[in-house]
Structure 1
Amino acid sequence: MAVTHRTALRFIPVVAAVALLVTACATPAGGTATPAPAESTASPSLDPTPSATPSPIESQATDDEISLPSSCDELFAGDLRATLDAEIAPLNDPGVTMYSTENAEALTVLESGVPSLRCTWGTPSDRGIATTVSIVSPAQSELIVDALTSSGFGSEEASGGMYFRTSQRMLSMDEEVVDLGETHFLRGNVWVATRWVNYGPDAYTPGIVAQLWP
């Protein structure tokens, strides 16, 4: 039928995404944090006047800003870690090379050299998860929000930040049903980007958020 034909055509990019799980490419394997560039030391202020007390908004922004975790083990704990180990181990198989997003504008930020920690779950197959936690500037965060919103992602305020989600169920050219999607979370100076194929538990990103802001 015509509808089936259109679905098959729409799945062509998805086949490429699944293939990234199966075959290696230039994308780095997970588990290594990319450090932030060294910061220059600022000259001490000569103004003897004490600084003003920060506003509640400024205080919250400071509280929301965190450092990049040093390893993927810091992101997964408790019941979530036990579930992932049981259902889609291992963590950081070097053969899993799927990107954490396929949104072109968001991917540009992800590949721009921002400090990042990449983590994956699963083996090279048609089932897996890729997550990247990145430190972003306010301008980059705004660009990501605009890109995801204009791409039709659903949004929700929760856990002190903003979630963006999208998911699809499609037929491959082999008539196999494939579920896939993305979940993004932005808060303070952090962007958590996750793409999943045939495995995307609801507790996954909230579990990471709970570890980043305990």
Structure 2
Amino acid sequence: MPVHGKSTITPGRQLVLLILGGLVTVLVIAAAVWVVSMPWPANTPEVPEAGRPVPSSTPEPAPVAMPTAVIAPGTPKPESCGEIYSPAMVNAFGDLVLNPPWTTEPGADVSDGSDDPELLAVINATEHLSCRWVSPVGPSGTGVATNVVWVTEAQTAAVEARLRALGMECYEELGGLRCITETTTDTDNFGQSHFLRGGIWLATVWVNAGPDGYTHDMIGTIWAGA
């Protein structure tokens, strides 16, 4: 049977190896603790580079306010069409009705106090009343439409210049300026009457209707006592 040789590891070397093994174990444990406990960067969102604007949605443009005349103290201010006519004028219209319901329906075929785009722009740009004497049942070939328009001095001058440019006959009357035009054909009689006075413009178109003295009646009623 084989004979085993005597061990060459001395007690001193065993002690050294034990010490080295202990140190290695301590170092491994310390390294593991350091790895676990070391701080790691937080998962934060990426920040855009400074100085570079971030695109955003384009804001909607602000609405543009329509110009409105400032009504001077003492200027007549009827609140409804019923306040601009005398009872006699109302009766003179016979079967025609003032502002029947159909005239306010969306898309209603109604007229304003002018058919000129420049004059219509002034009417629509400022405070006004729309007064229409028409058939009670719907559009027809007969009627009168008047806008009572409150205008600035600049608008008054622009309206007068436009009326003259359109070739209307203009003259002074009842404290203001009157401009008229009339056309007669084989089947129809139509025209316009405009009156400017003290910040008010009475713009009227008429077709196959209009009692005599219509504009004079409005002037006498609106400026009653003036």
TM bin (shorter chain)? 0.5 to 0.7
Please name the residue that 1:152 is paired with: 167
| Structure 1: segments with no counterpart, 5+ residues | 1-35, 40-61, 172-176
CA positional deviation for 1:125: 0.5
| Structure 2: segments with no counterpart, 5+ residues | 1-66, 104-109
- Structure 1-normalised TM-score? 0.64
| Superposed counterparts of 1:20-169, under 5 Å | 66-84=75-93, 86=94, 88-96=95-103, 97-112=110-125, 114-123=126-135, 124-169=139-184
CA positional deviation for 1:95: 3.3
Count of aligned residue pairs for this structure pair: 148
Answering whether residue 217 of structure 2 is matched by residue 207 of structure 1, we say yes
- Structure 2-normalised TM-score? 0.61
Report the secondary structure of 1:101's partner residue.
coil
Report the secondary structure of 2:100's partner residue.
coil
Q: Quick one: distance in 2 between partners of 1:81 and 1:66?
A: 24
Please name the residue that 1:18 is paired with: none
Answering whether residue 208 of structure 2 is matched by residue 198 of structure 1, we say yes
- 1:124-166 Cα offsets, whole Å, 9 max, x none, are 2000011000100000000000000011101121110011000
Match of 2:199 among 173, 179, 189: 189
Is the 2:92–2:211 Cα contact (8 Å) retained in structure 1?
no
The verdict on how the C-alpha distance between 1:153 and 1:202 changes in structure 2, with shifts beyond 3 A counting, is farther
The verdict on how the C-alpha distance between 1:107 and 1:37 changes in structure 2, with shifts beyond 3 A counting, is closer
Is the 1:68–1:115 Cα contact (8 Å) retained in structure 2?
no
Q: Quick one: distance in 1 between partners of 2:217 and 2:179?
A: 16
Matching residue's letter, 1:189: G
Matching residue's letter, 1:99: D
Q: Quick one: distance in 2 between partners of 1:80 and 1:199?
A: 13
Report the secondary structure of 2:196's partner residue.
strand
Aligned-pair identity (%): 32
CA positional deviation for 1:169: 1.6
Matching residue's letter, 1:200: G
CA positional deviation for 1:99: 1.9
Please name the residue that 2:59 is paired with: none
Report the secondary structure of 1:95's partner residue.
helix
CA positional deviation for 1:94: 3.5
Q: Quick one: distance in 2 between partners of 1:95 and 1:129?
A: 15
Q: Quick one: distance in 2 between partners of 1:38 and 1:79?
A: 31
Matching residue's letter, 2:97: P
Q: Quick one: distance in 2 between partners of 1:78 and 1:207?
A: 10
Choose 1 or 2 for highest CA Rg: 2
CA positional deviation for 1:37: 6.2
